[in-house]
Amino acid sequence: MGSSVIEKPLLAALSGRRVSPPPVWLMRQAGRYLPEYRAVRARARDFLELCYTPDLAVEVTLQPLRRFPLDAAILFSDILVVPHALGAELRFVEGEGPRLEPVFDRAGLARLGAERLHERLGPVYETVRRLRRALPDRVTLIGFAGAPWTLAAYLVEGRGSKEFLRPRVLARRDSALFGALVDLLTESVIEFLSAQVVAGAEALQLFDSWAGVLPESELRRWCLEPARRIVATLRARHPEVPILVFPRGVGACLRLFATEVGAQGLSLDTGVPMAWAAAELGGPSGPTLQGNLDPVALLGPEDRLLEEARAILLAAASRPHIFNLGHGVLPETPPERVAALTRYLKSGGE
């Protein structure tokens, strides 16, 4: 009171106001496309050590902010730290992605437990604490977690997949078992995100990367309901911290997430036409829309890149909007394209 507090643009947008130019950050803005990231990555034995070493995780989180005029930093971590903290064996195979010990029966579920969740995730909270102190005033610190369905899908499949058939079959053949797994993950995600807020996260994003493989009835049960529960519990505990949900690939079912989850923000994947989203997803009282430039546009010519960014700005102009990609920055992305994009956005898209 008295001293002038400048509201952070990203938080302003998530409070339902149109901010001009809109705040911008990019999913996977810290990552392999940056040479300075690769240098730090080389200092860690493996990817998980990078996630669990606050010195290194803080450094890579901050790297893109030194280069580009971004309005948010997202904690550098991985969605699979939650299953890992629940006791699932996890390793990242170079060039092939994650491998987990698959959970397909009650014995597999019984091996998981939340007893040591906070202890194991302590280094992540420490990273959040340090980031909050290190970030400039205008930059919002975003914490995140994988959504229960997506985490359960990796746990049951044991790895990444195009179709995630094993979890989809298990969810139907033994919905009690699958439901118990999703419940454990839902509770753990709530505790994990809550601890990130206590450590200093100012906004949260829930990544449901594989929601798109489910039909509506299964989506309601395994994605929408857990998201609603997570959002309601966190909003009750931390009413000042807005939440973004990212149900990737759900198409027309985005309407359910816009109207039934209660999150302040809805992140759109590449396939969603922003004009459709702005018109159909709740109107001016609906959630703030985030997105949704094709990450591949950063690998093409600059004029097309800026043209597509401009089309998104125009289509979202009637709504509170956070500019982002529709998926993560690709490792092959030239950093100068990210520079050109963010410069363009900060110039008001002219």
177 interacts with a second copy by CB under 8 A = no
Q: What is the per-residue binding string for a second copy in 130-169, x denoting contact by CB under 8 A?
A: ------------------------------x-x--x--xx
283 interacts with a second copy by CB under 8 A = no
183 interacts with a second copy by CB under 8 A = no
- State the SS3 of the chain: CCCCCCCCHHHHHHCCCCCCCCCECCCCCCCCCCHHHHHHHCCCCCHHHHHHCHHHHHHHHHHHHHHCCCCEEECCCCCCHHHHHCCCCEEEECCCEEEECCCCCHHHHHCCCCCCHHHHHHHHHHHHHHHHHHCCCCCEEEEEEECHHHHHHHHHHCECCCCCHHHHHHHHHCHHHHHHHHHHHHHHHHHHHHHHHHHCCCEEEEEECCHHHCCHHHHHHHHHHHHHHHHHHHHHHCCCCCEEEEECCCHHHHHHHHHHCCCCEEECCCCCCHHHHHHHCCHHHCCEEEEEECHHHHHCCHHHHHHHHHHHHHHCCCCCEEEEECCCCCCCCCHHHHHHHHHHHHCCCC
For the bound state, the minimum distance from the C-beta of residue 168 to a second copy, rounded and expressed in Å, comes to 4
What is the distance, to the nearest Å, from the Cα of residue 112 to the centroid of all Cα atoms in its chain? 24
12 interacts with a second copy by CB under 8 A = no
Q: Is 221 a catalytic residue?
A: no
User: Which one of the listed residues 41, 229, 235, 310 is annotated catalytic?
Assistant: 41
Q: For a second copy, which stretch binds (CB under 8 A), given 36-44, 55-63, 114-122, 215-223? A: 215-223
Q: What is the per-residue binding string for a second copy in 318-337, x denoting contact by CB under 8 A?
A: --------x---x-x-----
109 interacts with a second copy by CB under 8 A = no
Q: For a second copy, which stretch binds (CB under 8 A), given 113-121, 130-138, 141-149, 264-272? A: 264-272
Q: Is 78 a catalytic residue?
A: yes
Candidate list 2, 35, 215, 239; residue touching a second copy; CB under 8 A? 215
Taking residue 319's Cβ as centre, other Cβ atoms within 10 Å add up to: 22
302 interacts with a second copy by CB under 8 A = no
225 interacts with a second copy by CB under 8 A = no
Q: Is 166 a catalytic residue?
A: no
Candidate list 21, 102, 212, 335; residue touching a second copy; CB under 8 A? 212
Q: For a second copy, which stretch binds (CB under 8 A), given 102-110, 135-143, 186-194, 274-282? A: 274-282
Q: Which residues bind a second copy (CB under 8 A)?
A: 160, 162, 165, 168-169, 172-173, 212-219, 249-255, 270-273, 276-277, 280, 292-294, 296-297, 299-301, 304, 308, 311, 326, 330, 332
Which residues belong to the active site?
Answer: 28, 32, 41, 78, 154
